[in-house]
Amino acid sequence: MELRPIKYTKEYFASIFFFGITVEGGVPDINPLNEYKETKKDSNATLQLFVMGTEEPDITWYKDGKQLKNSGSLKLHANGTYSVELEITSAQYSDRGLYTCTAQNQFGESSANVTLAVKGKSLNF
């Protein structure tokens, strides 16, 4: 087995030789649409990130360091980028905090953070 890391922007690529087949890929590159998201109490909020990689990543969400049961949604776009979304419905003050999304594949993992602020009350008409 031969591993050769090559640095390309934020990604590390590796070649693995296994039974005469070379598999190439890289650690997912993950970027939030916004690093700070603000919503009103009782409103919905969507935390959105974009992941680039050579294969579909496994996604895990954390809030303030604790793993969430909800892994959100993952959608592949035509350009090979995945969008990752976590929907928070009827946001409460207890939903405020630091959300971390981790994208992992066979080459490694990377993560990005989004801070959610919940303020005031929503206006119901």
pLDDT (tens digit per residue) in 85-105? 999 999 999 999 999 999 999
pLDDT at residue 122 in the model? 55
CATH code that applies to domain 28-120: 2.60.40.10
Query: What is the pTM assigned to this prediction?
Result: 0.77
Domain residues of the chain, as ranges? 28-120
Q: Specify whether the CB–CB gap between 30 and 101 falls below 8 A.
A: yes
Instruction: Kindly give the pairing relationship between strand 97-105 and strand 6-8.
Output: unpaired
